[in-house]
Amino acid sequence: MTNTTKGLVITIAGGGSTYTPGIIQAVLNNADRLPVKEIRLYDNDKQRNDDMFLIIQYMLKKEGFAGVHLLSTENPEEAFAGCDFVFSQIRVGGLKMREQDEKICLKNGLVGQETCGLGGFAYGMRSMGGLLEVVSHVQKYAPEAWILNYTNPESIISEAIRRKFPDIKMINVCDMTISIEETIAHNYGYNRKEWICEYYGLNHFGWYRKIYDKSLGRDIMPEIIDKLVNQEMQVADFNAGDKTWQEAFSMMSVITKNFPTNVPNNYLEYYLYPDMVVEHADKNYTRANMVMDGREKNTKEMAEKIRQGVEDNVLNFNFGEHGQYIVDIATSILNDENRRFMVIVPNNGAIPNLRQDAVVEVPAYIGAIGAEPVSLKPIPDFHKGLMEAQVAAEKLLVDSFFEGSYQKALQAFTLNRTCPSARVAKIVLDEMIEANKGYWPELK
């Protein structure tokens, strides 16, 4: 790590992402702990990167950080040379391809979702190549930099990274546990900053086992389960008005009513109730459409207003916990704070009764040498069985990517819990291969 008194260089890979303003806002809000001297936006889409340059330049000025140097570039050497942190959030194929993932699945009666089910697998096959390329650039131009990765689908990405770069300075994280905790605390009147959570699973596929509240001096998970069963949660401020998130948090009550042993990750709805999810889905207007008409449109409008010289009321983005989480992780590394976060890491015994080479999501303490996962007690058979099948499916998909194997892809699709038969798996796989020409490796 460079001498921080001189200030840090932070590169955002996927600079044009709709999440960039929120992350930069968090960086600026924490400038005392994360002193930034230069921000670089790296994207392979010049138009999106140019738009974001205008937005971030405007923010820096408004927030009194005009001295921070800002650069946007499509050149990896310029983007990464000598940087200290890379925050990665690319979406290979953009929201247009997300729309295809969702709609092809729904058309065939399956869950159509960004990271779960066969849509998530299709995205995984696109995303691995793009992210491995970004990571290779960082290894070449800034081998000492820490990469903090949000790029989805995280389980698949993390498995590909585990194989290709086993010793890399990279931490894969998801904002969902923090968002679930914030929503629970907000609805039922707790302060999540007082919590020590025990959680285990795969990304978007896990359970809480304990929520210890330091101020109350006890495990409050049993009372949270009671509340979840009796009173659905309302989506908290940062997602207010978002119908999809309201439905997701409502589904947590359904899951908990049937399985009241643990607080679940909301994403389990796709694996446990795929029939219900498909029944409620609009096959013609999916989440990708909502995001294009929402976050993506807002981003373009902000840039357009700045281009036209509008001075006030330009910024329109949802700050939330997403940016703060990645910034907290960066400061925990930088200042060796050893704070506790959920991270996506090779198992290596953290869950003792699950294969060692699985990639799992578990608590870890993060400090100057990176993430040190917590060693957990064995997990129950119901969760273990679900996870083992999912791990095998994800591993087969990653095999398929590296080996160019159609057979492994078909096995992965067939094993995915959201898919009822090998016949449907093959139909969807063949459609996905067509739709993803130029994005997937060729499968033989």
Q: Which does 14 bind (CB under 5 to 8 A by kind): ligand NAD, Mn ion, ligand G6P, none?
A: ligand NAD
For residue 214, what are its two tokens? 């330091």
Contact between 73 and ligand NAD per CB under 6 A = no
x/- mask, ligand NAD, residues 127-156, rule CB under 6 A, reads: ---x---x---------------xxx-x--
Residues lying near ligand G6P in the complex (CB under 6 A) are found at: 114-115, 152, 174-176, 287, 291
**Catalytic, out of 267, 270, 271, 325:** 267
Question: Cα(431)–Cα(429) distance, rounded to whole angstroms?
Answer: 5
Tokens representing residue 39 in the block: 């921000």
Largest alpha-carbon pair distance within the chain?
60
Nearer to ligand G6P, 152 or 347 (CB): 152
Contact 246, 266 (CB under 8 A): no
Q: Shortest Cβ distance from residue 287 to Mn ion (Å)?
A: 13
Active-site annotation holder among 175, 213, 328, 399:
175
Q: How far apart are CA 209 and CA 213, in angstroms?
A: 13
Burial label, 32 (beta-carbon count in 10 A; 0-12, 13-18, 19+): exposed
β-bridge pairing 170-172 and 146-149: parallel
Q: Which two tokens stand for residue 402?
A: 């590296």
Considering the complex, state which of residue 213 and residue 321 has its C-beta at the smaller distance from ligand G6P.
321
Q: Does 95 bind ligand NAD (CB under 6 A)?
A: yes
3-state class (DSSP) for residue 203 = coil
For the CB of residue 378, give the shortest distance to ligand G6P in the complex, in Å: 27
Q: Which residue is nearest to Mn ion (CB)?
A: 174
Least spacing, CB of residue 204 vs ligand NAD, in Å: 9
| Spatial distance between the Cα atoms of 250 and 247, rounded to a whole number of angstroms | 5
Tell me how far, at minimum, the Cβ of 227 lies from ligand G6P, in Å: 22
Question: What is the sign of the dihedral through the CA atoms of 285, 291, 293 and 296?
Answer: negative
Number of residues that bind ligand NAD (CB under 6 A): 27
**Of the candidates 132, 173, 138, which has an alpha carbon nearest to the alpha carbon of residue 327?**
173
Closest residue to ligand G6P using C-beta atoms: 176
Whether residue 43 lies in the annotated active site: no
Judged by beta carbon, residue 7 or residue 93, the one nearer ligand G6P is 93
Could you tell me if 211 and 221 are in contact, meaning their C-beta atoms sit under 8 angstroms apart?
Answer: yes
Residues 238 and 247: their CA atoms lie apart, in Å, by 15
Q: Cβ distance 389 to 415 under 8 Å?
A: yes
Nearest to 103 by CA among 126, 121, 119: 119
CB of 68 to Mn ion, least distance (A): 28
Binding site partner of 435, from ligand NAD, Mn ion, ligand G6P, none, Cβ cut-off 5-8 A by kind = none
According to CB under 6 A, which one of 174, 211, 225, 419 is a site residue for ligand NAD? 174
**Could you say which of 43, 321, 328, 361 contacts ligand NAD (CB under 6 A)?**
43
List the single partner that 287 binds among ligand NAD, ligand G6P, Mn ion, none, CB under 5 to 8 Å by kind. ligand G6P
User: Is 267 an annotated catalytic residue?
Assistant: yes
Q: Which does 268 bind (CB under 5 to 8 A by kind): Mn ion, ligand G6P, ligand NAD, none?
A: none
The site partner of 318 among ligand G6P, ligand NAD, Mn ion, none (C-beta below 5 to 8 Å per kind) is: none
Structure tokens at 72: 């946007």
Out of 79, 86, 176, 268, point to the residue binding Mn ion (CB under 5 A): 176
Our CB check for ligand G6P shows the closer of 344 and 425 to be 344
Binding-site partner at residue 183 among ligand NAD, ligand G6P, Mn ion, none, CB < 5 to 8 Å by type: none
Give dist(CA 362, CA 378) in Å, integer. Answer: 13
Q: Residue number with the shortest CB distance to ligand NAD?
A: 16
User: Count H helices, E strands: the chain?
Assistant: 17, 13
Residues 17-36 that bind ligand NAD (CB under 6 A): 17-19
Q: Tell me whether the omega of the peptide bond preceding residue 153 falls within 30 degrees of 0, making it cis.
A: yes
CB 148 within 8 A of CB 326: yes
Q: Are strands 205-213 and 218-219 parallel, antiparallel or unpaired?
A: antiparallel
Residues 148 and 13 sit within 8 Å (Cβ to Cβ): no
Give the residues lining the site for ligand NAD (CB under 6 A): 13-14, 16-19, 43-45, 48, 89-92, 94-95, 130, 134, 150-152, 154, 174-176, 296, 322
Catalytic residues, which ones?
Answer: 175, 267
Give the residues lining the site for Mn ion (CB under 5 A): 174, 176
